[in-house]
Amino acid sequence: MTPLPTRALTLVVGVLFLAANASAQQPAPAGRTAEPAASSIVRTASGVLACRSLDGDAPCGNETWTLTVQPDGTRTMRTFLDAGRDGQQINTIYRADAAFGFVEAFSNVYDEGRLLGSGYYVADGAELQVTTLGTAGFKAEQLPLPPKFSVLLHPPSLDGWHFGRYDVQAGGAQPVPTFVFGAVDGGPRLAAFPISLQFVGRETIKVAAGTFDTEHYHFGKDTDVWFTGPDRIMVRHEYRKAGTRYELARLDGPR
């Protein structure tokens, strides 16, 4: 059989990845607890993060998400972020291992109805395989991976997962090499940045979805996050540079 060209093979892998995840359980209706669709799923949850501006409490979009956890501890998050006032939408499927280590992800970004680009990313041993399609065309590349790293694709619901790289016993500010999705050279690319993570403390906070015991962390220069539970479900996310606060408005599934 004639081998597929690199581009065709990568696209086929990406399609199979999306198809496999699309067959997983859909979010439960509001007010109902999500139940596993099969014994191969340990637990599921779904929710909504609602955004309000920090300066005037004006609405600034929302994010819907669905989580599934497999028996081996791997987690898959499917998110749709509608940034509202900024006119951007981001679709993401993101899979991590039991320790929240990045495994693979797909993401695409729209701006005012126009596709900015899409990417498929895979941690493959000592390399990060990056396949992107943007205004500059198709590109495939391999980036070297440090021992500890994370991948940031911008949905707030996923930002608690970066802290699987954090050493709680050591404490303090800890730089973690983070590959950030963004427009580089005319297309959506990943570039590595040392982002600092720091544990602040444990806090009980009240949001529209209820009252939660959370872990509070500083994230980078101007972000604070509060997440809860073994799946690090985002309860509150403040990004001061953009002037946004996302809070959990609905949660269906385990608390």
pLDDT tens-place string over residues 75-122? 999 999 998 766 789 999 999 999 999 999 999 988 888 888 899 999
Category of 45 on φ-ψ map: left (φ > 0), alpha (ψ -120 to 50) or beta: beta
What does the mean pLDDT of the chain come to? 82
DSSP for 82-133? Answer: E-GGG-EEEEEEEEE-TT--EEEEEEEEEETTEEEEEEEEEEETTEEEEEEE
Chain segment 159-179, per-residue pLDDT in tens: 999 888 788 888 899 888 888
Judged against a pLDDT cut of 80, whether residue 6 lies above it is answered with no
Question: Cβ–Cβ contacts within 10 Å for residue 156, how many?
Answer: 23
**What's the CA gap between 68 and 235, in Å, rounded?**
18
Contact indicator for 150, 178 with CB cutoff of 8 Å: yes
pLDDT band at residue 62 under the 50/70/90 scheme: very high
Judged against a pLDDT cut of 80, whether residue 241 lies above it is answered with yes
Chain segment 206-232, per-residue pLDDT in tens: 999 999 999 999 988 899 999 999 999
Q: How many residues does the chain have?
A: 255
Of all residues in the chain, the percent with pLDDT exceeding 70 is 80
Judged against a pLDDT cut of 80, whether residue 4 lies above it is answered with no
Model-wide pTM > 0.85? no
Chain segment 196-212, per-residue pLDDT in tens: 889 999 999 999 999 99
Judged against a pLDDT cut of 90, whether residue 57 lies above it is answered with no
The two three-digit tokens of residue 38, written as one number = 């099969």
Judged against a pLDDT cut of 90, whether residue 51 lies above it is answered with yes
Contact indicator for 185, 136 with CB cutoff of 8 Å: yes
pLDDT band at residue 180 under the 50/70/90 scheme: confident
**What's the CA gap between 179 and 60, in Å, rounded?**
26
Q: Is the dihedral of CA 243, 53, 205, 74 positive or negative?
A: negative
Of all residues in the chain, the percent with pLDDT exceeding 90 is 46
**What's the CA gap between 136 and 172, in Å, rounded?**
41
**What's the CA gap between 186 and 103, in Å, rounded?**
26
